[in-house]
Amino acid sequence: MAFQTFVNEAIERVEKTGADFIHTLSLAERLKEAMLYSFTAGGKRLRPLLMLAVLDGFNIPIEKGLRTACAIEFIHTSSLIHDDLPAMDDDDYRRGKLTNHRVFGEATAILAGDALLLHAFELIATDDRLEDSVKVSLIKQLSQSSGANGMVGGQQLDIENEGKPLTLEALETINANKTGQLILFSLLAGGLIAGVDGTTLERLRKISHHIGLAFQIQDDILDVIGDEALLGKATLQDEKNNKTTYVRLLGLEPAKIEVKHHFDQAINELKRLRLNSNFLHQLLQLMIERKY
């Protein structure tokens, strides 16, 4: 199968799985509308793609990972809704559309984020393609990666340090949690569903470290030189919020070199794994060359 066909099919199936699930919720129509609004707003779906590319690399049919891939995108979408709120980044646009709270109001946006977050776990718990032991491992890792020692904790550190000068090491700790942990989960989930051994999981962890850094540095670069129309959100937000970024610490050109360095490291680690890395390799290339 061609890489682009894999990407198109995977995205279509993850989006259908998520939208079908949200449509089954029937208690509060406006909440459901707010959840669908952000979930179906587009987005590159990179984390589900990473997970499904790992699964495919281990020769496991992607059907087996669809609900988990969708759970990742539910958590990611919930974090974006909360990140855009006035109490956090106070953004008006996301994925080329008005942010959730600008359309539905703050209270409903908070609840839509809450609901997406919680149903992510239901998507995994009710997946009849997976064995119970695998579901428990996935749920355990997903809550750890998303919680106070992961994405939420990273966001807290990010907020606390706004306007303060940061060392490269401190910036790395924030990003490894805020952005890196969900990328880590995406790779580990592919391995857990494929039933790989502990050494392989450790290698996936190393690969995710480099992918997370390359992705975040590229994100910082795009905030400076990206095209607002393509990005679907305002640029120069880091400057506005007085945030320390890789571009600020390293300079633009060295930051670009750093992205390439981490990409190369990820590819080196990938070569040491016994998996068909074709799609993963192309996906990583896409991630670092992205314009949005």
Per DSSP (E only), the strands in the chain are 93-94, 97-98
Per CB under 6 A, 219 contacts ligand GRG: yes
H or E element in which residue 179 lies: none
Closest CB to ligand GRG among 60 and 83? 83
Residues 39-98 that bind ligand GRG (CB under 6 A): 43-44, 46, 75-76, 78-80, 82-83, 88, 95
Dihedral sign, Cα of residue 240, residue 35, residue 211, residue 167: positive
Identified binder of ligand GRG from the candidate list 99, 108, 177, 179, rule CB under 6 A = 179
Phi, psi of 283 (to 5 degrees): -65, -40
Closest CB to ligand GRG among 185 and 279? 185
Closest CB to ligand GRG among 47 and 203? 47
Dihedral sign, Cα of residue 121, residue 124, residue 128, residue 134: negative
CA separation for the pair 213, 171 (Å, rounded): 10
DSSP 8-state secondary structure symbol assigned to residue 92: S
Identified binder of ligand GRG from the candidate list 151, 171, 194, 270, rule CB under 6 A = 151
User: Which x/- pattern, by CB under 6 A, does the window 240-279 give for ligand GRG?
Assistant: ----------------------------------------
H or E element in which residue 178 lies: helix 168-178
Identified binder of ligand GRG from the candidate list 67, 119, 135, 178, rule CB under 6 A = 178
CA distances from 107 to 55, 79, 84 (A): 38, 15, 13
* Contacting residues toward ligand GRG, per CB under 6 A: 43-44, 46, 75-76, 78-80, 82-83, 88, 95, 113, 117, 146, 151-152, 155, 178-179, 219
